[in-house]
Amino acid sequence: MLLSKLGELISEYQPSGTVLVIIGFVAVTHMCGINPDKLRWFLERSTHEVCGNSSRADVPPADFPSFTHIKHVAAPASKSYLHREIIAASLAGHELQLDITDLSDDILATYEAMVKLPNQPPRKNNVINRNASTPERFDIPSTAGHNGVVNRKGESERSGGSMCSRLIIDCKESGTTLRFLLPVVASLGVDAEFKLHGRLSDRPISELNEQLELHGMKITRDTPDSLRISGRLPNQRLQSGEFTFDSPQSSQFISGLLFALPLLESDSVIRIRGRFESKAYVRMTLSVLRRYGIDIRCTSASDEWIYTIPGNQRYVGKVGTVNALEIEGDWSNAAVLLAIGALSGEQLRVTNLPLRSEQGDRRILDLLKEFGIKLRCYPDAISTLNGTVDIYPSEGFKSIDAIDASDCPDLVPIIALLATQARGRTQIYGAKRARLKESDRLSGTCAVLTELGADISETSDGLVIMGTGILSGSYVGDGYGDHRIIMMLAAASLVSEQPVRIHGCRAVAKSYPDFFKVLGRLGFTTKVLSDDD
């Protein structure tokens, strides 16, 4: 059986002699229990690597330097996948255990909410390993390649609370927590109050609320920083039916409903017309749901997408622990690390990155290549999940005429920074949703880069950058309290001629609490400031 399977795969992929040697090794490991699908995946990726016929994995030309003593860093676990895995595992009735050493505020919000929901397992054994206590301010000297670190010491933290007549869910500033869990608590018939912090109360939610209200729910805003949801009748759950969106402002509305609707007694349909941005994140949701036994059918025609969701389904699965090693790496945060490698002019290796991924921010690989940055991608020999990206020193950046950021708005700050180092005009468009993030990310990015000396201007849905390769200014500020802008500013200090000083740096805990600690391991230096500095 094994030899027959090997014959089929070798015939299909026609690997080189080098890969055939590897096949022998993998075949032996297969006899010890390796899944044949891993062999198929590895053959496909290895063939692409050796033969150079894949647009997703680039073999460097002969003049690429070899990696000897190289700086390397592992990308953190994907925040997008962690949200989804926590929700699905909890709905499957698993004892939920997180073993993540870099747990962000957003993930903590979703975790604490899910363990409060009814019909969840006892929580006495639930574990969170979480870093905490980032100093609020630090100073990054302008020494071209040496920046700052703020250490975060580990601290175990759990949220308690028991069920009462009204469930209190603290979303912190997590839009994902709010948009995913509104439909979920509605499907469970839970009377809940969502606490909102920062700009979360201003971020789009009305389209989702409207659909929930059309299907039996009552939603009220007693205060700007809270939102209450309950059934129109006592103990009423969300009602099945057709949920319709015209060019939805967020794909998270769709994902939240996809988690909730399978739990209803009857079938439902989600119909989307017009522009549908960030579809990749809905595909990500569907991939997680499939792993937990949920059946959802998707069809599309012209500018309409239809999701058919059979009712009366149950979440099933064998995974009770959400572990960092089981979650693919995060492209959104890795984008900053890769940009740091490119801006530093040094070799950098970023591991734990899924070369095949539904994450929209995987687009950074294509953009780095368009900017003229030398890189190499290759899969892990055994893991089918993650791979490695090597960044090599490059001679000058190239401008990019037009960048459509409609499916990757989180990349806007770091793309804009890279564009300042490319001589010529780069335009970013399709990023109107970036104005609705933790800050108006278009305005904020434009302002901080202007202060650093960049020639940059706003459009209604993007930015125009006239790159000169020089940032002659300095910056003192809080990066608008936006974790993406703060991380971009840290990267900008690599090429700025004057110091960068950031206040309120703990904002990075929203997505990447260990960010400055990682920079320290890469050779950055910082001065931590007191409130009086």
Return the CATH number at 425. Answer: 3.65.10.10
Q: What pLDDT does 245 receive? A: 98
User: What does the DSSP 8-state code read for residue 22?
Assistant: H
436 domain-assigned: yes
End-to-end CA distance of the chain: 71
Whether 134 has a pLDDT exceeding 50, the answer reads no
Segment of 55-64, 148-157, 256-265, 314-323 carrying the highest mean pLDDT: 256-265
Q: What pLDDT does 126 receive? A: 41
Q: What pLDDT does 120 receive? A: 56
Looking at 6-20, 134-148, 372-386, which range is the least confident one? 134-148
Confirm or deny that 166 is annotated as ligand binding.
Answer: no
Catalytic annotation, pick one of 410, 478, 482, 514: 410
147 domain-assigned: no
d(CA 473, CA 318): 54
Confirm or deny that 527 is annotated as ligand binding.
Answer: no
Provide the 3-class DSSP secondary structure of residue 301: strand
Task: Identify the burial level of 62 via C-beta atoms within 10 angstroms of its C-beta, where 0-12 means exposed, 13-18 middle and 19 or more buried.
Answer: exposed
Q: Are residues 229 and 346 in the same domain?
A: no
What mean pLDDT comes out for the span 392-417?
Answer: 95
What mean pLDDT comes out for the span 81-95?
Answer: 90
CA neighbor of 447 nearest in space, from 485, 419, 411, 421: 485
149 domain-assigned: no
What mean pLDDT comes out for the span 356-381?
Answer: 93
d(CA 149, CA 136): 12
pLDDT top residue among 35 and 444 = 444
User: What would the pLDDT profile of 286-310 be if each residue is shown by its tens digit?
Assistant: 999 999 999 999 999 888 999 999 9
* Sheet containing strand 375-379, strands side by side: 71-74, 348-353, 387-391, 375-379
Q: Do the strands 455-458 and 475-477 form a parallel or antiparallel pair, or are they unpaired?
A: unpaired
Q: Are residues 357 and 294 in the same domain?
A: no
Confirm or deny that 474 is annotated as ligand binding.
Answer: no
516 domain-assigned: yes
User: What would the pLDDT profile of 423-461 be if each residue is shown by its tens digit?
Assistant: 999 999 999 999 999 999 999 999 999 999 999 999 999
pTM exceeds 0.85: no
Beta bridge partners of 476: 501
**DSSP characters for 10-51?**
HHHH---HHHHHHHHHHHHHHHTT--HHHHHHHHHHHHHHHH
Looking at 68-82, 153-167, 194-208, 355-369, which range is the least confident one? 153-167
Q: Are residues 96 and 217 in the same domain?
A: yes
Q: Are residues 265 and 277 in the same domain?
A: yes
Confirm or deny that 510 is annotated as ligand binding.
Answer: yes
Q: What pLDDT does 383 receive? A: 64
Whether 37 is catalytic is no
CA distances from 368 to 66, 355, 371, 373, 515 (A): 20, 15, 5, 5, 21
Domain boundary among 324, 345, 362: 324
d(CA 408, CA 174): 18
Other beta carbons within 10 Å of 232 = 11
Q: Are residues 233 and 297 in the same domain?
A: yes
The enclosing H or E element of 387 equals strand 387-391
Whether 331 has a pLDDT exceeding 70, the answer reads yes
Beta bridge partners of 64: none
Domain boundary among 299, 324, 349: 324
Q: What pLDDT does 156 receive? A: 28
Q: Are residues 297 and 347 in the same domain?
A: no
pLDDT top residue among 355 and 48 = 355
Whether 421 has a pLDDT exceeding 70, the answer reads yes
Tokens of 330: 């995060």
- The single residue listed with the structure tokens 């005009």 is 425
336 domain-assigned: yes
CA distances from 360 to 253, 268, 278, 334, 356 (A): 17, 27, 7, 12, 11
Q: Are residues 83 and 224 in the same domain?
A: yes
Whether 350 has a pLDDT exceeding 80, the answer reads yes
Whether 118 has a pLDDT exceeding 70, the answer reads yes
Confirm or deny that 5 is annotated as ligand binding.
Answer: no
User: What does the DSSP 8-state code read for residue 120?
Assistant: P
Beta bridge partners of 463: 428, 458
Confirm or deny that 406 is annotated as ligand binding.
Answer: no
145 domain-assigned: no
Q: Are residues 453 and 381 in the same domain?
A: yes
| Cβ-count burial 310-325 (b if 16+ within 10 Å, e if not) | beebebebeeeebebe
Q: What pLDDT does 96 receive? A: 66
30 domain-assigned: yes
136 domain-assigned: no
* 490 close to 500: Cβ distance less than 8 angstroms: yes
Q: Are residues 342 and 255 in the same domain?
A: no
Q: How many domains does one find in the chain?
A: 3
Q: What pLDDT does 69 receive? A: 56
What mean pLDDT comes out for the span 213-239?
Answer: 93
Confirm or deny that 347 is annotated as ligand binding.
Answer: no
Confirm or deny that 410 is annotated as ligand binding.
Answer: yes
Domain range for 496 is: 328-528
Q: Are residues 94 and 220 in the same domain?
A: yes
Domain boundary among 324, 344, 361: 324
Confirm or deny that 99 is annotated as ligand binding.
Answer: no
